Structure 1
């Protein structure tokens, strides 16, 4: 099993190209099930989760082809992938595939809309909370779907097609918004989704669906209106830059010091997180080429943050921000409101010398003068990269185990950081 070794103390200087967003690419790939024409997606990152979803879509009969530079050419190049679901051969998403990635449950919406049926395994729990599928099920029922739970599977049927409806999410959910928006695109009549997720990934999906012939308005606001159409066509669409990768590298620069251009990044995708970062003392500037982040070695100021749905501070940057706060000059409080069990990185940061105490859903961080390198273990995707950020500033060597989590969401992280001066390398078992 691969590990990552970091020798801390080096500032970061240079350019980091920001990859396409994993959280945008996955629903866009699933949208290919809605049409028998080819959907071409540009700027698709090369990640373990993307490769897993390609296998899942292949199980349903989706063909794909890739063009673009390959990874052995020494630099990170975005890929263009063509998906064609002309012949859907299976409407079952089996447990052995869905259990490996929760987002694969989202195929239930397009399969229902196009085929009138779907049998999709319940995804089960995960390391950062249960994340139940109740919102998906109730929303699809509102569109006229008959749903039963049989043997660990959600069995959904809409033999006469989906019907437009008004549905208010009892709790904001990005995944459920994706699914209902895709399903309603082919429903008969108008669908109005209230309390919808406002994340940029939802907007990116709506833009793609509209390019395919859907009639969607309001994406990015709490109310989305979808006028169903009989069929969707193919399209060409670009995946937005990854705001979580952007924020992660910005926090890494603030931690290690230096001056880095995050090439292709957009401030409008994570204004709240960048504002919090600015309050720590880092300088954040939007340029024509991306976002420039600088810290000249002065102290890190403590800042309190609370995770919230977009446009608030993203939960997917909570662990990384906590890593930065371990070196702040004073006390900070980080409150997690989105997921339970998302403080598992605390004990690993403590192994590096961090002083963190938990009070319910709030972590109280007392900044320390220095961190010391040590062996640590990644517990999930975002927790693992928080250990990388801490390791960049720790004295001596930090060895991160179970880095397969990183490969799910960060494209060539060690290559991008080492190009800016970090002493970081992957060690293959």
Structure 2
């Protein structure tokens, strides 16, 4: 990709206006995997047209699915999706491709994939995924470059997760819905996308219910019919735009916020001094008084503050006078944005796994590099708050999760231009 794969941002202007949030990336990807479990045409309505969804679509096509779009509705005809191999070229580009193993085993009793990639924010081992599949009766062989799985009829089991894992929880759900008997998943992740996956599968005829917090019970069924459901608004995108308003001291209205999923985000925003109101289902954001440093912001599993918004929050805190601290508790290598913010004029020091931010120094536009999805969004936020022009290179990373970040922020009064140059 050419160096001019970049977003050019002219900063220094408060955001103002109304915005609608795209469909959720983290909900869409596992639901696309769920479509494999039916021999028919499933529909994902309001699906985001983003790079990760397009890549998952290509993988499903490689497995034999026929796919097409009507606007933002994605149709997946999995009638002939009997493939059992995900080429390494695909699996190496996207972490979430690993959740296809459970769906492929449930459908075809055989699956093979390279090790998942696409992530530079820290260790994300697949050991919990393999544990789940083995517990349900799959035979797993690893050779260092490839994971091969096979089974007869998967059989229900009781599985305990030693730590919260969204992907491994989704893996267990996808593998168990067609398994024989009852599966109980204990210590599950509780992120909203888990609930959306279960709801979609139940609409396909699955029997999934939450017996209590962190426990999911699944009664296996013989077959599933095609699914048809709406992808919810993306809480991380909504949080990104909320934090962009805070960094620029702007005022925006989010038309379709996933309000029930944003409590942890809104609490941190309020502690920063941001104000908001909810009226008619809309989130009315007033970031003019954002100016309180945070003694300690810690990322947590849901419903706490999400790790995906840690870097965007850092971009806000560097604009606030005083000392703030961030402790990243989910991924150990998620401070990659800090050096680039320092290049713009921020003062951030990483000590014993804690980012210490001495905020309030003016940010100045320069050339910075996105190295991963959410860090790239954070650099765009900082660029909006900075004086002068910033070039954010690597916008291909940002496009993994944001359908039209430039258009959205331009509609709010930001000055952003996407420059792809010669690819």
Of 367, 370, 379, the match for 1:375:
367
Query: What pairs with 1:310-321 in structure 2 (closer than 5 Å)?
Result: 310-321=302-313
Question: C-alpha separation between the residues in 1 aligned to 2:283 and 2:238?
Answer: 9
Is the 8 Å Cα contact of residues 82 and 108 (structure 2) preserved in structure 1? no
- Secondary structure of the residue aligned to 1:32 is helix
Task: Summarize deviations over 1:217-254 as a string: whole Å, max 9, x none.
Answer: 11883000001001000121111110000000000001
Tell me the residue number matched to 1:73.
Answer: none
Partner of residue 112, structure 2: 119
Q: Is the CA contact (8 Å cut-off) linking 1:318 and 1:336 kept in structure 2?
A: yes
- Please point out which of 375, 395, 399 is paired with 1:407: 399
SS at match of 1:64: strand
Which residue among 88, 97, 103 is the counterpart of 2:81? 88
Long gaps (5+) in structure 2 = none
The alpha carbon displacement at 1:372 in A equals 1.1
TM-score for the superposition, normalised by structure 1: 0.95
SS of corresponding position for 1:44: coil
Contact 1:200 1:220 in 2 (8 A): no
Cα distance 1:299–1:248, how it changes in 2: closer, same or farther (>3 A)?
closer
Shift of 1:207: 0.2
- Gapped regions of structure 1 (runs ≥ 5): 69-78
| Deviation (angstroms), 1:19 | 0.3
TM-score (structure 2 length as normaliser): 0.96
Cα deviation, residue 126, structure 1:
3.1
**CA contact 1:125–1:131 (8 Å) conserved in 2:** no
Q: Find out whether 1:325 has 2:317 as its counterpart.
A: yes
Equivalent of residue 15 in structure 1, options 14, 18, 39: 18
Using the alignment, how far apart are the partners of 1:369 and 1:219 within structure 2? Answer: 50
Partner of residue 292, structure 2: 301
**2:113 match: secondary structure:** strand
Q: How does 1:349-388 map to 2 (within 5 A)?
A: 349-388=341-380
With over 3 angstroms needed to count, the CA separation of the structure-2 counterparts of 1:125 and 1:253, relative to structure 1, is closer
CA apart distance, 1:302: 0.8
Query: How much is the aligned-residue C-alpha RMSD, in angstroms?
Result: 1.3
Task: Give the whole-Å Cα distance in 2 for the aligned partners of 1:220 and 1:40.
Answer: 30
- SS, match of residue 16 in structure 2: strand
1:290 Cα deviation from its structure 2 partner: 2.6
Q: Supply the distance in 2 between the matched residues of 1:206 and 1:287 (Cα, whole angstroms).
A: 29
Question: Mean alpha-carbon deviation: is it higher for 126-135 or for 343-352?
Answer: 126-135
